[in-house]
Chain A
Amino acid sequence: MEARCTACGAALELPCACKACGALQPLATERDPWTELGFEPGFDLDEALLKKRLLSASRLVHPDFHGADAASRELAEALSARLNRAHAILADEARRADALVVLLGGPDESTSREMPREFLLEVLEWNEVLEEARQARSWSATVESLRDELAVRRHGVLADVRALLAPTPARGDARLQPARAKLNAARYLDRALGELEALRLSATRS
């Protein structure tokens, strides 16, 4: 059934507000990020369209335009917060895949912490170099090549995730478990890359 505006009855392009009359829509139970921004759930996403939707939806729900009374300001705050959260998830490949696995009934991060076996062996090696870098607090050619290696691996892991999640599997599909394991690996890589970036910035500073 097509959603309609609670104020004017026009068909809603996005669930947060009505483009036709500008009315904010009531704060329903939280929706998945795709629905929030008018997409079908899936790994592949038109990023230019995503940005366009964020901007046009923000123009409708941002508190800047709903300051007349406390109630509408508060509603606008809550709707904007949801919109921004949905956008943040969809704009990041790994977070998007993570949300998709959960939405399709797959294991979430807290229940399944396993990583691909071959990956674990590499993690041990990387951790050694990481620990050395932590101790030295300086940026070296070794650290830089570790950074490059991790970046390449992250790219590869996400390509694997894409292969598992696109086209979108059915609810409870067997591919969701290996996708989760790959995402756990991606999460490890993101953390390590984040730490290396912080190290690079602080090394440039001194």
Chain B
Amino acid sequence: MGYIELNVLNQPVAPQQQGALGIDLGTTHSLAAIWKDGRPQVLRVEGESALVPSVVHFPREGAPVVGQAAREQAIAAPKDTLFSIKRFMGRGLGDVQQELATLPYAASETERGLIQLEVHGRKYTPEQLSALVLRKVHETASRALGETAPTRVVVTVPAYFDDTQRQATRDAARLAGLEVLRIVNEPTAASLAYGLDQRDKGVVVVYDLGGGTFDVTVLSIEEGVFRVLSTAGDTHLGGDDFDAALVTLARAEIAAAHGAEVLADAGCQQALRLACERCKIELSSAPRGEIHLVIPERRLAWRREVSREEFEALVAPLVERSMAACRQAMSDAKLAPERIAEVVLVGGSSRIPAVRARVAAFFGRKPHSELNPDEVVALGAAVQAHILVGGKRDILLLDVTPLSLGVETMGGAVSKIIQRNSTVPCSATEGFTTYADDQTGIDFHIVQGERELAADCRSLGRFKLRGIPPMPAGMAKVGVRFHIDADGVLTVTAKEEGSGASASIDVQPMHGLTDAEVEGMLASSFEHAKDDFEARRAADLATEIGTMVHAVEKNLNAARAGLDKESLLDLEEALARAKAAARDRDARALQKARDEFERASLPLAALLMNNVAQKALMGRSLDEV
């Protein structure tokens, strides 16, 4: 029944604390895996795909719909169905103009610079939307396990995610009621899934081309320690872009043949996008594919054959962008391609033959693709989760921070504090001082990136130091410690050292969600979750009553004569009440009506059973009854 998994989400009751889930929170789909019987296993419900589409649909009324059911709403309700949420994680409005140009969403920004997507006049941060996806993944995991799945999780992110994107991911998991043991980089996780520790030593490259992001990671494996030497990537390069290349081609041709207005409608655009995605997938296994678009309401039926050569020419610039990142990673690792022992392919888009061929040519060897590229990251996350709950100590991951960390100096340049590809955890201390007498506060601006000017790097926000003891200018010496933890997330602490008093300095981040905001969202999401749960329970009960009413009405006339008067009266009354209650939306009233109806129908059920038994004794088969 549907209740078990919902209970998990609404009541933070003692979850099963033995294990921990590995969750791949992807741009196009998400899934969970767990360590079981000595190996990582993808959690799938019998007869269903393990992949939960990372899609959220908001019906005009009622609870949000997540996953496959939401994806099916894409064409009918494009503006109420949110895709590619991951592309918005930890981003401001200015960062995602490119995405917004191709997606039919209304967006705005919070005062702290966080993007919000609007549906039916309600605003949702990407964290809240991702939390809905994570809940669905957890619910699916629970159904697959047949019991409440662990709420302790390892969640993966693209290696090239910056601090804000990582924090947003962590907040999303917290909003979903999950305890994040670790944020792990996707390519590193994938290397764990491949069991590459079984080899004695060597350098391995993981090429991870997903739905929306690309990462390449160079690792050295020795005595069970996976040490990342370098990582590079592009958080705006993935399968979505390959689809977009076909969409651009198709749009131009459809506009030429049928006029541009045909595709003005958001539903048509969504239909075209899905048709192009299908064509792309076809082309991975066949030399020719077809974009097939049928929109009956617009009397549009359009077909276009695409050969693999044509597709490859279209996407060649995208493949080359990934190769540029490969060259960067090899350069940072100070290695030539010949030194690479193995190459591993990850991410759905690595199925594209042109991608495989290009990777093979660059590294001079055939890449591994034995494991399902859609599942390998979740499997690796499950291995790391198993390590973190104390189940496995023979493997250790030493990952790096993908981007340099710096402070903006006077004049807008960047003074680097931590270099990119530094092994995490890592920390550095920087001294700050006051420039005016009795100054009690210092503001500074932290950025991530490789560019010389702060304006060209990604802003992690402005920090304020408060509570510096009053003293002459330049006397205060504030030591600010920047620490990037094993999750790749930055914490900033400060200490006044000049006075010797070691006063504690208050550091206020000026970006992202504050803890209070997360708590607030958490509380309101539990409220909503309770509403959602009640609504679902009411719907299930109404359905059940409907089935019972149908069964009773079907049999009542034939069996009427056999029932005693009192039971008959009782049953007819209960039937009328049940029919009335089925229109009710209150779960408790429905439950009561259902229970009474069941009780009243017991004599009828007994009578029917008797008849069946008698007929059986008379040598007639049950089918004839």
Contact = CB atoms under 8 A, between A and B. Distances in A.
Interface of A: 51, 55, 58-59, 62-65, 67, 77-78, 80-82, 84-85, 87-88, 197, 201, 204-205
Given A64-B397, A77-B486, A204 B324 contact: yes
Contacts of A77: 425, 483, 485-486
A81 B426 contact: yes
A201 B324 contact: yes
B591 interface: no
A81 B393 contact: no
Which 7 pairs from chain A and chain B are nearest by CB? A81-B427, A84-B423, A205-B324, A81-B425, A80-B425, A77-B425, A63-B486
A184 B239 CA distance: 47
Contacts of B396: 55, 58-59, 62, 64
A205 to B, nearest CB: 4
B416 to A, nearest CB: 12
Contact of A84 (B181, B331, B393, B425): B425
Interface string B31-59: 00000000000000000000000000000
Interface residues of B, number: 27
A64 B331 contact: no
A65 B392 CA distance: 10
A204 B320 CA distance: 10
Interface of B: 181-182, 222-223, 225, 227, 320, 324, 327-328, 331, 387-388, 393, 396-398, 422-428, 483, 485-486
Given A58-B398, A59-B225, A81 B483 contact: yes
A88 B396 CA distance: 18
Contacts of B223: 55
A65 B182 CA distance: 12
A144 B425 CA distance: 37
Given A80-B425, A205-B320, 4 more contacts: A62-B398, A62-B486, A81-B426, A84-B425
Centre residue among B393, B398, B425 by max chain A CB count within 10 A: B425
A174 B335 CA distance: 38
Contact of A58 (B225, B422, B426): B225
B456 to A, nearest CB: 14
Contacts of B423: 84, 87-88
Given A58-B225, A59-B225, A64-B387, A84 B483 contact: no
Contacts of B327: 201, 204-205
A63 B485 contact: yes
A88 B422 contact: yes
30 contacts: A55-B222, A55-B227, A58-B398, A59-B225, A62-B396, A62-B398, A62-B486, A63-B425, A63-B485, A64-B182, A64-B387, A64-B388, A67-B388, A77-B483, A77-B486, A78-B425, A78-B427, A78-B483, A80-B425, A81-B483, A82-B427, A84-B423, A84-B425, A85-B427, A87-B423, A88-B423, A201-B331, A204-B324, A205-B320, A205-B327
A130 to B, nearest CB: 15
A67 B181 contact: yes
Centre residue among A62, A67, A78, A81 by max chain B CB count within 10 A: A81
